[in-house]
A and B are shown apart, each in its own frame.
Chain A
């Protein structure tokens, strides 16, 4: 199982950013996928998951209406589009396999810094 995130970087408050995660080594379309973040020096916070076929997704309250998760089961990619970003969204964002039940494999993470 390999999960490789990309798309992180520096963004101004109020800006937008899209993260991507390329999956390999397993049958991508069989698994829910999640995004989890970790603010600098802080703990883990699960943000969202998307069902295996992409028909269902849920979010934590703090990102509802601002973040959108999607997936492409042909290219084996899961994405997180983030808008109206605030400094509180600064974190390393991890893509992870699972979400409907067990979350078992994680990517190496991509850092998002929201700053002016």
Chain B
């Protein structure tokens, strides 16, 4: 059971906007920045969003992140078939003295 909670699945049609939530507590999401990773099954995770809302070089602008209190969200606009992947949020947990990952959300493009 992850200390950071994500919905196990999400879906949308091409062109739609989808959001994925990430709910934590005061010791992790509430007090530290949130990063998002995406992982195509069988491959390594890649950084998608860091510091709650920053995009690394090369990540399209249709990916955006936000945080409020102990919750964070990843939004994907203009959904494309290649966005089908697993998405994970992560934050440092001050109480556990460890990085904690959400359980992951499998995004399906219908």
Contact = CB atoms under 8 A, between A and B. Distances in A.
Interface string A83-116: 0000000000010000100111111110000000
Interface size, A (range): 10 to 19
Interface stretch (B12-20, B44-52, B60-68): B44-52
B95 interface: no
B44 A99 contact: no
A110 B5 CA distance: 27
A36 B100 CA distance: 11
Contacts of A105: 47
A65 interface: no
Contact of A103 (B35, B51, B56): B35
A10 interface: no
B47 A43 contact: no
Contacts of A109: 44
Interface size, B (range): 20 to 34
B99 A34 contact: yes
Contacts of B56: 104
Interface in A11-42: 34, 36
B50 A46 contact: no
A16 B47 CA distance: 31
A108 B43 CA distance: 7
Nearest to A46: B99
Given A43-B88, A104-B47, A105-B47, A58 B35 contact: no
B98 A46 contact: yes
A72 interface: no
B50 A94 contact: no
Interface of A: 34, 36, 43-46, 49, 58, 60, 94, 99, 102-109
Closest 5 CB pairs of A and B: A46-B99, A106-B44, A44-B101, A43-B104, A43-B103
Given A43-B88, A103-B99, 7 more contacts: A43-B101, A43-B104, A44-B37, A45-B101, A99-B99, A102-B47, A107-B44
Interface of B: 2, 35, 37, 43-47, 50-51, 56, 88, 90, 96-104
